[in-house]
Every structure is written in structure tokens, then in C-alpha cells.
Chain A
């Protein structure tokens, strides 16, 4: 493998990092590649891609809330400048330290702002109602009637060897009267093992025209009520999926005990196998 291929392989590892473990993966990769100089610049694109895809949260300079750094949060025409519509601040984001710097006030799309602000208010109260430690951002797409609602909730518990992340994204399109959603859940449990839950769920809904034509406030509240309902149903249906996997797949792969409801009698397993030709009628299982 040449240097370029090694950086490519390292980048692939980084993109697979479980919730909250990007630094652990980066440390391992640094040790394995043992060429900090080429690594530092080489993996930056992967770190950037990871941060944007994973809805990395950032403390907004000068505000007392966090915002999501994602593709939707990128300031149009800029590569590394992101913005938080809630505080109307833009900032440069460091993909390695995950810190924001050089905060500047940002001009917002006045036409879209009333509905965006209403959607944000409704999203924040939904966040309060259903997420432990969640962060949400709502973005208006300039020059269209499209809005991005993004939610992320993280729980990292390295001392108990687990971490989890819930990501939701809804694209509200007022021109087409529809909402397209996506929920991604990742859980990593790694005490004496490595067990991961990974789910993806997409949903779409045509909005009744009454919802779209209402004033921003009631319209946004109604849309979030629909989302609340859908996500609640999804979470409940996950229970059914768990039940099904436990009852059908898990039991189908390996029984808890043989049909006889007792463990094997190994002396007889052996005796039966060795003496199979002599006494084929001998039972395999004992009563002990």
C-alpha cells in the first residue's frame, strides 16, 4: 500500500466511527499509520464528511445553545463557514477540535424567516418533550420553500462501554406539500465484545393543503405534531422488530435447549456415535 492508499484506508475507518468514539478511532489510526504529517491533512476530508453526516453539535459563539453542523448548515458559497439561524451567527468550524471560531452576524432570508422561526420554535418544544439531551437546528433553503429540520441526540457512556446516537432529518417542502423524513439510530455496546445496533427509517407524507396555507405558527405546530406522531410510532415499532428478531431469528438460529429440554448426555453422544453400527437403537439422550 502506498501513502495515498493508506490515507484512503484510514479515512474509511474514521467514517465508520461509532457515536462519540471518533477520537478513539483517530488515536488508533494515528498509531497504525504512524505518519502524523501526512495523516493530519490527509484525513481532514474524512473528518469533515463524518462531522456533517453525523450532525455534529457545536457551541455557538456568543449564544447559550448548541447548533448542528451539517451540509444544510453550510453557508452558501463557503466551504468551512457554517451558520446557526437561531442566533443568526455564522462561524468557521474546525473539524478536528470541533470548535467554532470567527463568529459573524449573518443576513437571513427575510421571506422564509417567519415560517422557519415558527418551525424552529415547534421543533424545540418537540425536542424538549421527547429527547434527553437533544440538539435541533432548522434551516431555510435560500430561494425555495424548502426547510430542513434536523435533530440529534447523543449519549456517551465510555465507563460503561456504550454510546448511542439518534438522528432525525425532515425536509419540509411547502411547494410540493410534502415532508420527507429520515431517522437513523446507532448504538454501540462494547463491554467484552462489540455489539452494534444500526437502523435507518425513511418516511414521507403529503401535507393537507389546510396545513400549508395556515399561518406560520399553527402550520409549523401541526407539522411537528405529525412528526411527533410518526417518530413515536417508529420507536414503538422498533419494539415489535426487537420482539420479532428475538422470537423468530434468534430462536431459529440456536435453540436454548434441545427438543428434549435437557442438555446432551455426552457419554451417550460418544457411545452412540462409536457404537452406531453395533446398536443403532440406543438412545442419544440420558435422563441425567
Chain B
């Protein structure tokens, strides 16, 4: 019943992004038969895990999950350990290791922190697919400091066509920004008038911007050897993230702000209306 999955996806597009995990869990509880459809098509914040063998952090999502276990890109081991967990073929694993190193450099250059993970898997029709994950979280040192998190999920499919490869890329970026203003903490540090404005009002509040955006692209790139797949997808993902970062900036800081101003005006609308009427009258008077 594709119809049911459509309704679940429509619902997830409407409910608050801050509660996506709780809501997906509830939907899985209502329709356990559709758990795989749902988990495969709704992007959730990436979970941070630590590789037991190397001590390095990696990202967990539906793509490196087998049952209840997650595979680390660094040691190729499942945690909790799995006897017969799915792993890439040796050839693909070699590419996966190189891809993890390359995107780790990419992560450091753009995010200056955070964690990255790349997972590859073979496709039935001969090609392969992969996911490039990036996550950075900013934890405030004080309640007045802004907090935020960025999660990138780039899923691609690669099909080799002679000396060319065709790529299909679907990118989702989840971004959350929270700012807390006023409140008892500032109050203590700055005395009784801490959160009191000059006008005598005592204020406190929180602003949260959260959400996700998804974009797709298909491109052909030349192929020299297997490592070309990394330079090709690297360039595509870099280009896509730059484009989407601009888009997120526009929507988060432009569009949502404009809508607030569509609800309430700082300027006195009645005064502006009166002025316009007066102007009209004057113009009419001059014409006469």
C-alpha cells in the first residue's frame, strides 16, 4: 500500500523537525510492517558512535545498519559484533577506505571539526552505491551561547559506462539552530536588572530554526580508474553542499523572517494607510 507510505512521508514533512526521531518511532509502532520503507526514506539525525577497535568516532544511519548492529567505516567491524554482517566486497572495501580518508579531509576543510563516514555497497545490476555522511554539533558553553547542529546525508548510485560513469546523487541536509535569550542565568551574573530592559520589561525566550532540505542531481563524469569515483563524487558533493548551504541560508534567515513580517509589522500600518490616503488627496488637489 504505497498510499500509506505517502501519508507517512507527508506527515513527516509537516511535523516539527526537532521531533523527527520520536515521530518516526511512533509511526513504526503503528505500522511495524512498513518500518523498512519508513526508515529507508525518512532522514533522521545521524548518531555518533565509537569504533571499539580504533577508538575513532563514526556515524550510524540506516545504511550501515544490519539488524541492531552498525558497521564502522574504520575497522569494518559491526557493533554489537555480527557473525555474518553484510560487508562490501574486498574491491569495494578498498575504495571505501580511500573514500573515508578523502572525505575526512573534506570534512576538516569545510567543517573544521565534526565527524564523517562513507559507506559503499554493491548493487545487483553491477554498479555500486554509497552514502557520504557529515555531522557537526556546536554545544554552547553557556545557556546564552547559540547551539546548533549540521547533518549531511549524500546518497549516490554509480553506473559505469565504458570510460564514463553516470551518477545519481540525492542530498539531504538537516540543520538546527537554537538561541536562548534572557533568563535566570544572566540574571544572577548581572544583578537584579539582568534581564530587565531599559523599558522595565523582564524578558526571556528561545528561538529555534530547524529542518531539512533535499535536492537531487544526475551527472556523467570521466573514469580513469576506480579512484575516479571518489574525485567525481567528491566534486559533485562539494558543489551540492555549496549550493544547498546558500539555499539553507536563504530559507532559514530570509524566507522565515519575511513570513514573520507578513504576520506583524514593526511600523504602524494604520499610520502608513492614513499617509497614503492623504497623499492621494493631495495629488487629487494638485490635479484640480
Contacts and interface: CB of A to CB of B under 8 A. Distances in A.
B61 interface: no
Name which of B29, B150, B260 has the most chain A CB atoms within 10 A of its CB.
Answer: B260
B23 A254 contact: no
A201 B150 contact: no
B210 A196 contact: yes
State which size class the interface on B falls in: 35 or more
A71 interface: no
Contact of A196 (B10, B16, B31): B16
B206 A162 contact: no
A109 B61 CA distance: 60
Contact of A131 (B138, B147, B200, B264): B264
B179 A273 contact: no
A189 B257 CA distance: 11
A25 B238 contact: no
B264 A266 contact: no
Contacts of B11: 13, 25, 28-29, 32
Interface string B252-279: 1101110110111110111100000000
Interface in B227-248: 227, 230-231, 234-235, 238, 241-242, 245, 248
Contact of A194 (B12, B260, B262): B12
A258 B214 CA distance: 23
Given A28-B8, A250-B249, A194 B17 contact: yes
B30 A192 contact: no
B148 A131 contact: no
A130 B199 contact: no
Given A9-B29, A25-B15, A245 B179 contact: yes
A255 B106 contact: no
B29 A130 contact: no
Interface string A213-241: 00000000000001001111111111101
B256 A189 contact: yes
Contacts of B175: 250, 253
B110 A255 contact: yes
Interface stretch (B46-54, B84-92, B97-105, B117-125): B97-105
B14 interface: yes
Contacts of A155: 259, 262-263
Nearest to B265: A130
A193 B105 contact: no
B7 A32 contact: yes
A10 B175 CA distance: 26
Interface in A259-279: 259-260, 263-264, 266-267, 269-270, 272-274
A274 B179 contact: no
Given A33-B30, A197-B208, A204-B202, A129 B268 contact: yes
B203 interface: yes
Interface in A1-51: 1, 5-6, 9-10, 12-13, 16-18, 21, 24-25, 27-29, 31-34
A252 interface: yes
Contacts of B213: 192-193, 195
Contact of B234 (A183, A237, A264): A264
A32 B14 contact: no
Interface string B140-160: 000000111110000000000
A235 B264 contact: yes
A273 B177 contact: no
A36 to B, nearest CB: 14
B286 interface: no
Contact of B211 (A163, A193, A226): A193
Interface string B187-213: 000000000010111111111111111
Given A198-B208, A205-B200, A263-B238, A241 B263 contact: no
A200 B145 CA distance: 17
B3 interface: yes
A165 B235 CA distance: 41
Contacts of A196: 16-18, 208-211
A199 B208 contact: yes
Given A197-B209, A242-B253, A254 B110 contact: yes
Contacts of A255: 109-112
Interface of B: 3-4, 7-8, 10-19, 23, 26-27, 29-31, 98, 101-102, 105-106, 109-112, 136, 138, 146-150, 175, 177, 179, 181, 197, 199-215, 227, 230-231, 234-235, 238, 241-242, 245, 248-249, 251-253, 255-257, 259-260, 262-266, 268-271
28 contacts: A1-B29, A34-B4, A132-B265, A155-B262, A166-B263, A183-B205, A192-B214, A192-B215, A193-B212, A193-B213, A196-B208, A196-B209, A197-B259, A198-B208, A201-B205, A203-B202, A233-B201, A245-B148, A249-B179, A255-B110, A257-B110, A257-B242, A258-B109, A263-B242, A266-B230, A266-B231, A269-B102, A272-B105
Leading 10 A-B pairs by shortest Cβ distance: A195-B211, A193-B213, A201-B205, A258-B109, A266-B231, A31-B7, A28-B11, A249-B148, A253-B150, A164-B259
